Chains A and B, each alone.
Chain A
Amino acid sequence: MLYGYAGKIARINLREKKVKIMEVTEEMARYFIGGRGFIAYLIWKEQQGVKPLTPEHNLYLMTGPLSGTETPGSGKFEIGHLSPLTGGYGDSNVGGKISKAMRDAGWDGIVLEDISPEPVIIVIRDDEITFEDASDLWGKGAMETEEILKERYPKAEILAIGPAAEHLVKFSMIHHDLGRQAGRTGVGTTMGFKKVKAIVVMGSGGHIKYANPELFKETAKEAIIATRNSDNYDFWVKYGTTSVVQWANENGAFPTKNFWTSYLEGYEKIDGRYMIDTYDVKPKGCYNCPSPCGKVFRFTYRGKEYVVEGPEYETLALMGGNLGINRDVVDVAYLNYLADNYGLDTISTGAVISWTIEAYQKGIIKPHMVDGRELKWNDVETVEYLMGKIARREGIGKILAEGVKFASTFFGAGHEFAMHVKGQEISGYESRWAPAMMLAYATADIGAHHNRAWAITYDIQVGHKITDETADVVIRLQHIRPMFDMLTTCRLQWVELGLDLNYYAKLLSAATGMDWTLDEMLKASERVWNLTRLIWFRHVPSFGRAWDYPPKRWLEEPVPTGPAKGAYIPKEEFDKLLDDYYRKRGWDENGHPTEEKLRELELDKLL
């Protein structure tokens, strides 16, 4: 018996409507832990020669050994695939209650194979997995779909997609818990391609045994108390990530007008302090979360009432500052609502639309391509118009729906301000003065995303310089942070509230009966980091060093205004940093893991 795991994964063939059971082996648990570790392992084992959005392209939805347990923040759920947006490895996580439901139903995860001939809902009730016609829901918004299914299945937890995923917009997300999303890498696109409108999960529980249940519960309780006793607990619960808007502006880190600059004049009206102190905003948490960061925002817009979970920092940055929006935070909340219901990732959507506005203003996109409209900064109607075009793939939306890399290639211009790495649009931190953060974005294994290594405060601490330790700091964070996506739990209790990382080793050991130390967990995380790198090399023929660079804007254009005015990192300096990063990782000059590194991580025998 495999303690801490359900021990099985459901492989669901959507064309044949058949389910096969796959065993979770001790080797998988020992070397890859769960969540993103299992996803990377299975992609490597099963997806050789496969291209995204083909019948053989699988979508992997996984829990980890700590998800849905008494561990603080155990409501996370990991979804991964070969990304249709980037072509390489992709994953994204979502908070809420779905991981608890999946484990209560007795599954460590599910794999979606092939394509359903018709729109379908997958209904999981413990061991029973059935399929229902989704024709009546096809075309409906993601939130609307979840609300309808909640009426039909009041005790279920639900994952749903919106119209954007149905139209195969490459940055579509998967929605859950009326406001949470697995937003990045186009996981919703893959689900939409498979014609799966929703997944409904109900479990009766009792399927998973812990090796040492008393120790597990005692340690989890201690960790929850430690989290609640943190000195910044009240501040965090009140403001969540929204407080970052002020800090980012004061430090010249706030994406503004397609990262043209890094300070938004008038940011105070979209800052967390204004939002929380002015509007009806209540905290909301995921399963077993002692420190809820979600913000349920009720507001009236153009005479209609809305409820949205958010906007959190990334949305305030990409659908606020990056679009030049500074009149009032309700503008961002409204756009957040639209994106959630269309099923669009707010980060990529904000980046694609901001690129479009800049391209229009530079004459690359002509008025006739946008129905004769003028595309403007700080204009909700511009954003609303383009978002609708993208979500429905109408007119120019057909091109923009492919992401900013494709759009700049299609128009043959605007590459220098197409703000992406590896085809994934950059999230909310200007890095022209922050070499560690720039390196973190450039080398993140799903394309530019902050959650792999948020290293920007190291840059502040050392005076914005490249140091002998810059690469080490990024590498260490790239092992710690994705470790949470293997467990699969929330990292915020650690990173925001100071919970000791050793708690996770104690919890994993008590759950599984395997004797884990924190160092061993970090080694497993490094193993997965190297495995995702191998996936990129295997699936993207031109992959290598050239894919590890930030956009030209960051290497050539000094920040024009604000606290970071004049800052940029010349390519020669970034090159030296990248060399140092590869060397310290045990990769060759093209960024390929060396045989020695693969042996050290035992990947030579595991793969």
Chain B
Amino acid sequence: MEIEIKVTGHAKEWISSSGTLHIDIELPITPEELIQKLGIKRGLVSAVIVGNKWLRWQEPITQQMLKSAGKKITIITPVGGG
């Protein structure tokens, strides 16, 4: 499935200058696997969100979850220290 990935937070430019990535993925996939596939350093990600849900690292992202979230995953880089 082709999905849109939004990268947000203060470290986003190290991942994507525009803040948006498009990628073809096979489902189910966990946030851990997704980050690995994208080649992102794990320490630069504090949360992966589908819909309004903050997923756990090993929680599978399913087709149903993605469809109801408009085929969009949000990657949040760490909160920038107040």
Per the 8 Å Cβ criterion, residues 201-252 of A in contact with B are 230-232, 234-236, 239, 241, 243-244, 246-247, 250-251
- Is A413 in contact with chain B by the CB < 8 A criterion? no
- Name the interface size band of chain A: 20 to 34
The answer on a CB contact under 8 Å between A235 and B47 is yes
Question: B43: shortest Cβ distance to chain A, in Å?
Answer: 4
- Is A429 in contact with chain B by the CB < 8 A criterion? yes
The answer on a CB contact under 8 Å between B9 and A496 is yes
Q: Which of B11, B44, B47, B74 has the most CB of A within 10 A?
A: B47
Chain B residues in 8 Å Cβ range of A241: 79, 82
- Is A456 in contact with chain B by the CB < 8 A criterion? yes
Question: B64: shortest Cβ distance to chain A, in Å?
Answer: 20
Q: Please, how many angstroms separate the alpha-carbon atoms of A515 and B8 in the complex?
A: 31
Chain B residues in 8 Å Cβ range of A235: 47, 49, 54, 74, 76
Q: Smallest CB-CB separation from A240: which chain B residue? A: B79
Q: Please, how many angstroms separate the alpha-carbon atoms of A25 and B25 in the complex?
A: 61
- Is A450 in contact with chain B by the CB < 8 A criterion? yes
Cβ 8 A contact of B81, one of A230, A250, A451, A461? A451
Secondary structure of the A contact surface, majority rule: helix
Q: Please, how many angstroms separate the alpha-carbon atoms of A138 and B61 in the complex?
A: 57
- Is B60 in contact with chain A by the CB < 8 A criterion? no
- Is A314 in contact with chain B by the CB < 8 A criterion? yes
- Is B71 in contact with chain A by the CB < 8 A criterion? no
The answer on a CB contact under 8 Å between B46 and A461 is no
Q: Can you list the 5 inter-chain pairs with the closest CB atoms, starting with the nearest? A: A454-B81, A232-B8, A460-B43, A495-B80, A247-B46
A-contact 0/1 string along B1-27, CB 8 Å cutoff: 000001011111010000100000000
Cβ 8 A contact of A498, one of B9, B41, B82? B9
Q: Which of A232, A250, A491, A498 has the most CB of B within 10 A?
A: A232
Q: Smallest CB-CB separation from B12: which chain A residue? A: A498
Q: Smallest CB-CB separation from B57: which chain A residue? A: A250
The answer on a CB contact under 8 Å between B52 and A244 is no
The answer on a CB contact under 8 Å between B79 and A461 is no
- Is A457 in contact with chain B by the CB < 8 A criterion? yes
Cβ 8 A contact of A247, one of B12, B41, B52, B78? B78
Where the two chains meet, the residues of B that have a C-beta atom closer than 8 Å to any C-beta of A are 6, 8-12, 14, 19, 41-44, 46-47, 49, 52, 54, 74, 76-82
Summed over the interface, the residue pairs from A and B with CB atoms below 8 Å come to a total of 81
Chain B residues in 8 Å Cβ range of A5: none
Q: A235-B54, A313-B82 are in contact. List 10 more A-B contacts (CB 8 A).
A: A231-B74, A234-B52, A235-B74, A244-B79, A250-B42, A457-B10, A460-B43, A461-B44, A491-B82, A495-B80
The answer on a CB contact under 8 Å between A450 and B82 is yes
Per the 8 Å Cβ criterion, residues 414-459 of A in contact with B are 429, 450-451, 454, 456-457
Chain B residues in 8 Å Cβ range of A514: none
Q: Smallest CB-CB separation from A460: which chain B residue? A: B43
Chain A residues in 8 Å Cβ range of B49: 232, 235
The answer on a CB contact under 8 Å between B79 and A460 is no
Q: Please, how many angstroms separate the alpha-carbon atoms of A234 and B8 in the complex?
A: 12
Q: Smallest CB-CB separation from B20: which chain A residue? A: A231
Question: B31: shortest Cβ distance to chain A, in Å?
Answer: 12
Cβ 8 A contact of A460, one of B8, B12, B41? B41
Chain A residues in 8 Å Cβ range of B11: 457, 461
- Is A273 in contact with chain B by the CB < 8 A criterion? yes
Chain B residues in 8 Å Cβ range of A492: 82
Q: Please, how many angstroms separate the alpha-carbon atoms of A234 and B82 in the complex?
A: 17
The answer on a CB contact under 8 Å between B76 and A232 is yes
Q: Please, how many angstroms separate the alpha-carbon atoms of A246 and B77 in the complex?
A: 13
Chain B residues in 8 Å Cβ range of A495: 10, 80-81
Chain B residues in 8 Å Cβ range of A456: 78, 81
Q: Please, how many angstroms separate the alpha-carbon atoms of A278 and B80 in the complex?
A: 25
The answer on a CB contact under 8 Å between A232 and B9 is yes
Given contacts A241-B79, A495-B80, A496-B80, contact A230 B54 (CB under 8 A): no
Question: B66: shortest Cβ distance to chain A, in Å?
Answer: 16
Q: Please, how many angstroms separate the alpha-carbon atoms of A498 and B44 in the complex?
A: 16
Chain A residues in 8 Å Cβ range of B80: 454, 457, 495-496
Chain B residues in 8 Å Cβ range of A429: 81
Chain A residues in 8 Å Cβ range of B76: 232, 235, 243
Chain A residues in 8 Å Cβ range of B14: 457, 461
Q: Which of A312, A460, A497 has the most CB of B within 10 A?
A: A460
Q: Smallest CB-CB separation from B56: which chain A residue? A: A273
Cβ 8 A contact of A244, one of B42, B46, B74? B46
Question: A350: shortest Cβ distance to chain B, in Å?
Answer: 15
B-contact 0/1 string along A281-313, CB 8 Å cutoff: 000000000000000000000000000000011
